Structure 1
């Protein structure tokens, strides 16, 4: 077993009681194989060496099989074994646990989990002597804590810890109980009412676990389980998952270990994995509260409050007093913007568990993700007031303040959290981020501030404000479907130097699967630079930030209350860019197969996609629906809907108020419009014209007679179809691909008319434009008299759709310059720079065009940028000197 007392960087760990595990952290990626093993494990299981002991009785072997989750039905022959098995898998209300013959500590444990601490305490009071005094003391302290009897809880837990210190446990399970008692004690104020905190108890807990594993019992699965929960509490995802895998290897039936893995998956947004784990938990405990908690939290992470409440309902009926279920229910109600309902549930929670901070933390976290920052702050502040020794409320509040762009408040909260809990990875990462950001430079305009790391990022930062203000005029303006709303704050753009810092900025951890994100008043973006520490390299940052700024503006207008599909649809719509061909293909397929998402399905497709293409379809179809909304009802319609959302009106009620149509009627009209659109794109044949599939079925006999293989129609058949349907997009595509196959994938003079016909018949496909652009720029077609004009036509088409490559923009800039159109040449050179601002090639072209056009100030900046990007090249200094001489010669302009 690895050394549990690792240094701070390698193992920042801590613990919270397993019964009240509120927060677990980001997963590195759960592997289903952990749970796939046969529960009646084979000879490889280490417990089989114990079971092979010659002097064991049959009863002892049964107990060993139960302990390691290896039992069979034949082993379930006493109430005590049934109760212990139920406790392992998480069947807390199993009748065996109420049987007088069950271990009374098992019964007390179950009662405590079920939210019945007074009954648990009564069972403990009648216990008398026990051979597990540390466990009994921990259960007593935890029950008292849940009852709000803090002084009594402190006394009970302090007694447990003192006893464990004076007489080190001789059983690993008792060492685990001492660790759990110490963790609960750390959350309680000391005798003077002050928070405990600090690093000492952490080292003590790790020492106890290390000794338990190395000196007492290497097979006790509760040790790695507790370690995994400790690590999860400290947001140490790598080590936490490793420990939990070890626990599951020793006891594959452990409901707690599975729950911890599921929690890791939820926090890491590995939501399909979380659902799979929840299903596994339910395999051992049908209707499990633990599985429900994982599932409900996953839905809340997906902004699906209704889905969370739906998941919680049957479990709450079965476990009406379970504290974590009740806390998650309150959080889901808060996320539904039902303030009266939230307060009612909090009142009921307080009646059951006086003084508890649990529900307030759960609500605060969920509201932070819903960008309800003021409300989140209030709930988390109340949680800290109730539990001043618990670092979690402070960590969550600090992270929320980071997302809200309130650095001073975030630093204050995170410093307090780290003082209590020096080993939390997310808190430490975020605090280091704040200290890093404090060293950044800042530029400001009327509506934006840009914060950047001094150095090479200056070359982009100094160019951003004019682009951002142009985005503001488009997005916040009223023209052409703008949002007609200016946020009452400056939006902060944080240009992060690499993907790791960007991920920490957004999630508090150094891994996230995007390159830009809006958290309301803050938009963080990864620098569009090539290199090993960057996710995608160069990209059209202006388009990406415009998309994110739409979120900022729509969230501001709606008070962060807007359907998921609607905010994404508005953001894509206001990118003002043509649809990608892949989006057109997905949409046309959905139209032709009758699988367009309705209003319920489209929101679920964003958060719980069933197919690989669901999320892509949701983005593309949402944009399509928004475009139809504007076209059919006018540009004010989406704004009027937003205003109703801001007032808390739900979408089903808002649509009739604004559009005079139900959502269902709107959707029916949209489907008819969408069919016409798909036909205009050439993705679906006109009414009465067969599809390629239908043509092939009709003429299958003729195809067979041509003795070709079954990969597709023969060239002769395609030619015949073109005779019947000369403008059929699908047939033209087949003809193009057949011609390419015959010409080694290159355009030829004979193909040009065919490519132009196909481009006209299916205007959304970039293929003919790529081939024609190549033909007129590098092929034989470049010698034709109008090659320049025709090349530009196709290059413009491609450049308008390009988000990552600057080659089209550079080629267009050169060609416009050759034509003497220096205005367009400069615009395209600038676009190339915006896609790849750190690439010297784009800067050199822009400087050259600027000089030719007499834009000496622009040329000077491009060359200065080159001196920052390539400080070792003296050439750039000489270019600046030459430019100054040129300016002097031109009269200083």
Structure 2
């Protein structure tokens, strides 16, 4: 399908273009270099000069640089119409659309570019960005192709580093970030990835932060990259702090401002997220997460809040009287059970929000509808489906609440350092400890994965939760992680699990926790676990 047609992009909002222009003709690369180094005023003038060109492609780049997105979209359409065989124009138009939340048409443009130039590395880079946005396993394939065609493509190495760190593969993340820096000693995102590695390891990131600030003193995106990695690791308060640093440096970095607001919502706040999301919306940043979160905040008036010293329960007014007698006692029971098991008292009340509309719950957790999960925990805040949010008999709300409450304890006790496989595995295990009928169940997907030997080594189990390689891998990983702790309790006893919680709180990595608690090398544990399973 040819993309020479109208394509929807976000609303524009920027200063009007003036007639002032530099004496010498500028190129998009000139303008981008000025922006890369934080010379905002000079970059603005450069982009404005491009808008005066007779070439629609140059005008498109100029309008884009000035955040005049509709004008840029129109100019790109004109450029493609005049030069149908030009792959570059389609790639750049696709990048604009990707930036403005239209990945469907962006992917089509990248594919059309490859039809015209099968060796276009930038087109593969574009497809990788679209795929990575949805945690699609094809992103790595596209990035490998892009680097095969252009081994010096900095952005591809940076994206691989980002994905590796999301998979908790620190050595690979460092390797790819270093490759980007070998290609360019001004690879800002690679520096931010290095800074992220340091802070996730509880070391000072200051050296790497200063390094990207030396190149661009207003590079708020560097702080936003760190914030994003902290959020993926469920360190929400730390993530919010770094998003604040990002928008302090670059107040018009709307993506960071929106992400900060959504994470404040996750921490149970309402007023500041409302203000920040409205500011984003009014300045033309209207991605689905921002819009959906604003709509959800508007619906908060429909909820009833019940508080005491240890719990905050938010229920929709239409079912509060029915649910409260069930939710409150179960929550109290979970708090008592885990408090005794872990010999600890939580520092603050647990807030539980129960949503009768599953799509509202999905927006509450991700900013987007379509989430398959039943419950999510953000520190001391739990959001979950109401029994009325799913078809009768399709899920057990009580076991979900029991599962999520365990996350509150494990995250607090480890200072949010527990890896995902561990936190999810313990919570699945504890469902079965709560009631036998809540226990981890074998499904056909799991049987197939076991038969095909697709279970991951324990040292790599996080990967199955973050970047699944086949559609059922997340479900399989939940089952595997839960059964790991069934096995540990069966062989080493429940105290071993509690000891592992404390060791993760002391920042020990998974291989060391396995060695010190269970007395086995991770590979030996895998072999013995498989035999037990």
TM-score, normalising length: structure 2: 0.84
> For the Cα contact (< 8 Å) 1:295–1:308, is it kept in 2?
yes
Look up the match of 1:515. 374
> For the Cα contact (< 8 Å) 2:504–2:513, is it kept in 1?
yes
Residue number among 3, 10, 21 corresponding to 1:12 in the alignment: 10
> For the Cα contact (< 8 Å) 1:213–1:220, is it kept in 2?
yes
Look up the match of 2:32. 142
Look up the match of 1:477. 339
1:142 CA displacement: 2.7
Residue number among 344, 347, 360 corresponding to 1:488 in the alignment: 347
* Mapped pair 1:173 → 2:53: no
* Mapped pair 1:266 → 2:137: no
Greater Rg by CA: 1
> For the Cα contact (< 8 Å) 2:258–2:290, is it kept in 1?
yes
SS of corresponding position for 1:511: coil
Q: 1:225 to 1:240 in 2, by over 3 A?
A: same
> For the Cα contact (< 8 Å) 2:385–2:397, is it kept in 1?
no
Q: How does 1:371-382 map to 2 (within 5 A)?
A: 371-382=234-245
Q: How does 1:382-461 map to 2 (within 5 A)?
A: 382-456=245-319, 459-460=322-323
CA distance, structure 2, for counterparts of residue 588 and residue 392 of structure 1: 38
> For the Cα contact (< 8 Å) 1:261–1:277, is it kept in 2?
yes
TM-score, normalising length: structure 1: 0.52
Question: Which of 430-439 and 146-155 deviates more?
Answer: 146-155
CA offsets per residue over residues 594-621 of structure 1, 9 Å max, x none? 9875432433344455567755554334
Q: 1:573 to 1:239 in 2, by over 3 A?
A: same
Look up the match of 1:502. 361
Q: 1:511 to 1:621 in 2, by over 3 A?
A: closer
1:14 CA displacement: 6.6
> For the Cα contact (< 8 Å) 1:13–1:230, is it kept in 2?
no
1:365 CA displacement: 1.5
Look up the match of 2:141. 276
Q: 1:247 to 1:148 in 2, by over 3 A?
A: same
CA distance, structure 2, for counterparts of residue 413 and residue 643 of structure 1: 37
Q: 1:402 to 1:221 in 2, by over 3 A?
A: farther
Residue number among 205, 213, 221 corresponding to 2:72 in the alignment: 205
1:560 CA displacement: 0.9
* Mapped pair 1:229 → 2:87: no
> For the Cα contact (< 8 Å) 1:655–1:663, is it kept in 2?
yes
Unpaired segments of 5 or more residues in structure 1? 17-124, 184-200, 679-893
CA distance, structure 2, for counterparts of residue 673 and residue 273 of structure 1: 31
1:583 CA displacement: 8.5
1:578 CA displacement: 3.6
> For the Cα contact (< 8 Å) 1:15–1:180, is it kept in 2?
no
Q: How does 1:204-353 map to 2 (within 5 A)?
A: 204-213=71-80, 216-217=82-83, 220-270=86-136, 272-286=137-151, 288-334=153-199, 336-340=200-204, 342-353=205-216
1:623 CA displacement: 2.7
1:384 CA displacement: 0.9
CA distance, structure 2, for counterparts of residue 151 and residue 633 of structure 1: 64
CA offsets per residue over residues 651-695 of structure 1, 9 Å max, x none? 344455555x2534xx647855764x55xxxxxxxxxxxxxxxxx
1:282 CA displacement: 2.7
Q: 1:583 to 1:627 in 2, by over 3 A?
A: farther
1:517 CA displacement: 2.0
SS of corresponding position for 1:518: strand
Look up the match of 2:497. 638
CA offsets per residue over residues 217-250 of structure 1, 9 Å max, x none? 5555445434432332233444444444444455
1:466 CA displacement: 1.7
SS of corresponding position for 1:575: helix
Q: 1:490 to 1:366 in 2, by over 3 A?
A: same
1:582 CA displacement: 3.8
CA distance, structure 1, for counterparts of residue 443 and residue 74 of structure 2: 56
SS of corresponding position for 1:488: coil
Q: 1:143 to 1:579 in 2, by over 3 A?
A: closer
SS of corresponding position for 2:224: helix
1:434 CA displacement: 1.6
For the aligned residue pairs, the C-alpha RMSD in angstroms reads: 3.6
1:173 CA displacement: 1.9
Q: How does 1:757-776 map to 2 (within 5 A)?
A: none
Residue number among 46, 55, 63 corresponding to 1:156 in the alignment: 46
Q: 1:670 to 1:260 in 2, by over 3 A?
A: closer
CA distance, structure 2, for counterparts of residue 494 and residue 594 of structure 1: 39
Look up the match of 1:81. none
CA distance, structure 1, for counterparts of residue 516 and residue 153 of structure 2: 42
CA distance, structure 2, for counterparts of residue 636 and residue 407 of structure 1: 39
Unpaired segments of 5 or more residues in structure 2? 15-21, 433-437
Residue number among 569, 577, 600 corresponding to 2:425 in the alignment: 569
1:444 CA displacement: 3.4
Q: How does 1:583-732 map to 2 (within 5 A)?
A: 586=447, 597-609=456-468, 615-655=474-514, 657-658=516-517, 661-664=519-522, 668=524, 671-672=527-528, 675=531, 677=532
Q: How many pairs does the alignment contain?
A: 519
Q: How does 1:79-158 map to 2 (within 5 A)?
A: 133-134=25-26, 136=27, 138-158=28-48
1:554 CA displacement: 0.7
> For the Cα contact (< 8 Å) 1:448–1:491, is it kept in 2?
yes
1:568 CA displacement: 1.7
1:303 CA displacement: 4.2
CA distance, structure 1, for counterparts of residue 468 and residue 289 of structure 2: 28
CA distance, structure 1, for counterparts of residue 413 and residue 378 of structure 2: 14
Q: 1:535 to 1:276 in 2, by over 3 A?
A: farther
SS of corresponding position for 1:477: helix
Q: How does 1:841-856 map to 2 (within 5 A)?
A: none
> For the Cα contact (< 8 Å) 2:146–2:156, is it kept in 1?
yes
SS of corresponding position for 2:193: helix
1:589 CA displacement: 5.5
1:15 CA displacement: 11
> For the Cα contact (< 8 Å) 2:135–2:467, is it kept in 1?
no
Q: 1:245 to 1:318 in 2, by over 3 A?
A: closer
Look up the match of 2:441. 580
SS of corresponding position for 2:71: helix
SS of corresponding position for 2:218: coil
Look up the match of 1:728. none
